Amino acid sequence: MPDERIYPLTFEPQLRDYIWGGRNLERLYGRRLPPGPVAESWEVSAHPEAPTRVLHGHWQGCTLPEVHAALGPALVEERALGDFCGGRFPLLVKLLDAEQDLSVQVHPDDDYACQHEQGDTGKVECWYILHARPSVELIYGLAPGVDREGFVRAIHEGRVPETLARLPVRAGDCVFVPAGTLHAITAGTVLVEIQQNSDATYRVYDWDRVGHDGRPRALHIEQALDVINWAGGAPGVVQPQLLGEGDGVRRARLVACPQFHLEQLDLAAGAVYQGACTSETFEVWGCLQGEVELAWAGAPLHLASIGFALLPAALGRFELRAQGPARLLRAFLGVGDQRR
């Protein structure tokens, strides 16, 4: 009999109503939303500001931090317990619906955050684009030739938009955002964000708008200038690296960085992906298109788009069986990724 405490976890999303949100999670994906704009849906979260609660099984009603505290390495893995500025659960998975442009912002790395953010981590992230209006361009890095001195001058003169680089994207693109990259998700974009478990964000420019209280939202110019990568060279749209193909399963690497790895899997109808969580790392799986059945030693779990599940590090062997053509994301810590 499997340990009743160790099983694939699904969560009740935590919704955030920032001013730039919309209704596309309802319109495009059938999500049931409360009235008003919804900017973010935190799908797998141990962040103290909005932890997600388990929907079923032994841990039903418990928050992810509570599960983490009880299971320790059986949930994550030994190395993660001491890393990431205090041993908190390392990743955060969100859906974002940008009906308006987000603020132009930048995130710190781990060293800066640990010194200045009272134990929070840095924030490396990546975006998988689910939906984009025609001709959408994200703000991504600085325009060629813009240095610190020129950027500071543009801030004082109200010319920040002209200093920013733009990156065209479309559905199916993945964009890696290292710490220190100036960026803004722009209107008409819906995406999955996989990131470090952090909310450390420094706003530089907010399009001269006001928040819910009628006042301009706070900017963090000094901190942003400290952490912006002035050398430039933001990597752009990810070029997937094929890891394997056969029996209806195509697996490609999207991101491999010290904070996390991200893969894309495409399954033909009826195809089966065989995996195992063998205490090296947990895995977060997201079904983006189609439907899959996640079979393991216990009762199988049905995962449909857009849905996410957390597989504990001690889960053991599992299979993902495609009901029809399906696309999935797999996020995990950067250990043991060559074994399959």
CA pair distance 258, 252, nearest whole angstrom: 18
Residue 11: count of CB within 10 angstroms of its CB: 23
Residues identified as active-site: 203
Other beta carbons within 10 Å of 176: 20
Q: Give CA torsion, residues 49, 84, 231, 162, to 10 deg.
A: -10
Q: What is the DSSP string of 26-47?
A: HHHH-----SS-B-EEEEE---
On the CB side of 143, how many CA atoms lie within 13 Å of its CA? 10
The continuous run of DSSP H or E covering 82 comes out as helix 78-82
Residue 103: Cβ-neighbour burial (10 angstroms; 0-12, 13-18, 19+): buried
Q: Which tokens sit at 110?
A: 């781990």
